[in-house]
Amino acid sequence: MDTSPRIILNNIKHYLFNRDDVICPSHLINELFEFVFVVTLYPAVSFLNLMVQFFRFFYQLTLSVSEQTPTLDSNSILITGASCGIGLSLAKSICNQWLIQKRTKLGQVSNEKKTLTLVSRNLDKLERVREEIYSTFSSRNLKELVDIQVRDCDICDRKEIEKVVTEQDYDMVIASAATNSQILSREFSSQNGGKTDKKGENIQDEEDVIYQEFQVNIFGTLNTVLPAMKQAKNRNIDSRLPKHVVVVASGAGYHGKLMGPYGITKTFLFEFSRMFQFILNNNDNQNQHENNLDYSSSDVVRNFKEMSRKYANQKQLVLHVVNPAGVTDTRMGETIKNLDKIPGSIHSNHAANLILGGLIKNERVIDLNNSFVYAGLRFLNALPVSAESFVTNCLNLQIYS
Ligand SMILES: NC(=O)c1ccc[n+]([C@@H]2O[C@H](COP(=O)([O-])OP(=O)(O)OC[C@H]3O[C@@H](n4cnc5c(N)ncnc54)[C@H](OP(=O)(O)O)[C@@H]3O)[C@@H](O)[C@H]2O)c1
């Protein structure tokens, strides 16, 4: 974001007097209606929602006082993107949690041998990570409790990742692998023998970078989570706890375009997960599902609902979406300028503990955003289209630029 007053003034002048961005009467009428809705309904609905959330929070607080401390009940967990960054820190936090539960005899089956499978494209790195984790917890005999397995697999290879994710019925699958354009540029340039142009920048086709970013973050994540979600359909709800599938999106996804194609991939993942959480809620009871199909007006929606029958119901499957934000000591964090100066930026160990804490408490949306950043991004999203253009253009708004 550029906050120099001269630049902001120039931007405002350009915005007000440019003739390329044509305003038509029908759009003005739409915005008038939007104004009436926003001024009258928005505060009322927001206030009502706040009250409902406060009530639910205090109600759940009274329940959890009488209940036992929540524990990590998953005994087999797979993590993609576990060779570094948040994925690696999550692997360590999970091992630590299992060790604590064994020592304090918390949890359902505390002495059962656990499996932790780490996935990335680089087997050597994963083997080093496995040794690092075992040596971090060597004094607490981690090897006796946890079998750490490693799998090298590119999540863009649909068949391969499906095989890896379903080779056993994992209790939890965490899809954390992702990339961004800076990381891809470096990877492309090292594949081309590290060639750079005169300015020292990488040589690659920009289109390749955008396609690959979408391929890894969107299709790679779908390749990972959809087979896991289908597999949960076979879970016997009388004898087994539900399977947990965790999609790692990003706080940037609340207003994706401010972070370029990467942000948009994360908006997709957030919205996709919210849609499936909604379907899971409605899939709970087969009769209700039949009714939903009968009353559905659109064939597209009918088809999709038919398809979603192949997936589990919410007693067999819990879908979580995680929105990390500003995690500094990661490969992705290093590509973002001045990340450590952004409010709420944290280290990956801290982020991993917060994420695991949310998973243990069974939170469906686990958000690591600073409250101001969260409110600002949501506010931008709620603005009328032209007001949003005004704010983003005049302030040159780009998060993490
Ligand atoms: N760091 C942040 O501030 C931040 C903020 C918001 C959201 N997030 C999200 O949090 C997650 C983890 O981020 P991070 O910062 O820990 O990233 P990172 O340090 O760059 O780690 C990315 C991981 O993904 C793996 N990976 C990349 N492409 C892959 C592919 N095609 N197939 C398999 N594995 C692949 C990498 O392993 P190999 O290279 O060994 O294959 C690496 O283990 C991502 O989903 C990211 O979008 C991060």
CA distances from 204 to 178, 195, 200, 337, 382 (A): 19, 9, 13, 22, 36
Assess whether pLDDT exceeds 80 at residue 307. Answer: no
CA distances from 284 to 288, 295, 299 (A): 8, 17, 22
Q: How far is CA 202 from CA 260, 261, 325, in A?
A: 18, 18, 27
Predicted pLDDT at 271: 95
Higher pLDDT, 311 or 366: 366
Q: Is the CB of 399 under 6 A from ligand 1?
A: no
The rounded distance, in Å, linking the Cα atoms of 228 and 226 is 5
pLDDT bin (cut points 50, 70, 90) of residue 312 is confident
Mean pLDDT of 64-87: 90
Contact 214, 262 (CB under 8 A): no
CA of 303 to the centre of ligand 1 (A): 34
Q: What is the pLDDT of residues 319-337, one digit of tens each?
A: 999 999 989 999 988 887 7
Kindly list the distances between the CA atom of residue 203 and the CA atoms of 127, 208, 304, in Å, as whole numbers in the listed order. 32, 11, 42
C-beta of 154 in contact with ligand 1 (< 6 A): yes
Cβ atoms 224, 349 nearer than 8 A = no
Q: Give the contacts of 259 (CB within 8 A, at least 6 positions apart).
A: 250, 252, 266, 398, 399, 400
Structure confidence by residue, pLDDT tens digits, 111-150: 689 999 999 999 999 999 999 999 999 888 899 999 999 9
In the structure encoding, which two tokens stand for residue 353, read together?
């503990």
Q: How far apart are CA 51 and CA 73, in angstroms?
A: 32
Closest-lying ligand 1 atom to the alpha carbon of residue 154: 32
276's tokens: 């499936």
Contacts for 352 with CB less than 8 Å, ≥ 6 apart: 86, 89, 90, 92, 93
User: What are 281's two structure tokens?
Assistant: 């809620």
How far, in Å, CA of 170 to CA of 337, rounded? 37
Query: pLDDT for 288-306, tens place per residue?
Result: 555 555 555 677 777 777 7
Tell me the mean pLDDT in the region 51-77: 87
Residues with Cβ within 8 Å of 292's Cβ and at least 6 positions away in sequence, in order, are 282, 305
Q: Is 253 in the pocket of ligand 1 (CB under 6 A)?
A: no
Q: Ligand 1: which residue has its CA nearest to atom 32?
A: 154
Record the tokens describing residue 336, joined without a space. 């973002």
DSSP string spanning 324-378? ---B-SSHHHHTSTTGGGSTT-B-HHHHHHHHHHHHHTT-SEEE---HHHHHHHH
Average pLDDT of the residues in 20-25:
86
The pLDDT mean for the chain works out to 87
What DSSP designation does 232 have? G
Q: How far is the CA of 220 from the centre of ligand 1 (A)?
A: 12
> For the domain 71-178+214-380, what is the CATH superfamily, name and number?
NAD(P)-binding Rossmann-like Domain (3.40.50.720)
- Considering only residues 95 and 290, tell me which one the structure prediction assigns the higher pLDDT: 95
Our answer on whether the CB atom of 156 is closer than 6 Å to any ligand 1 atom is yes
Q: Is the CB of 121 under 6 A from ligand 1?
A: yes
* Ligand 1 contact, 218 CB (< 6 A): no
Domain range summary for the chain, segments of one domain joined by +: 71-178+214-380
The CA–CA distances, whole Å, from 53 to 38, 56, 60, 338 equal 21, 5, 10, 35
Q: Residue range 229-247: average pLDDT?
A: 91
Q: How far apart are CA 300 and CA 302, in angstroms?
A: 5
Judge if the beta carbon of residue 89 lies within 6 A of ligand 1: no
CA angle, 366 as apex, 308 and 398 as ends, to 5°? 100
For residue 181, report the distance from its CA to the centre of ligand 1, in Å: 12
Three-class SS state of 80: strand
Which residue CA neighbors atom 5 of ligand 1 most closely?
325
Distance 348 CA to ligand 1 centre (A): 12
Atom of ligand 1 nearest to the CA of 125: 40
**pLDDT tens-digit map of 154-178:** 999 999 999 999 999 999 999 999 9
Q: Ligand 1: does its nearest atom lie under 6 Å from the Cβ of 176?
A: yes
Q: How far is the CA of 18 from the centre of ligand 1 (A)?
A: 41
Region of poorest pLDDT, from 55-64, 73-82, 173-182: 55-64
Q: What is the pLDDT of residue 401?
A: 46
Q: Is 75 strand, coil or helix? A: coil
Ligand 1: centre distance to CA 394 (Å)? 32
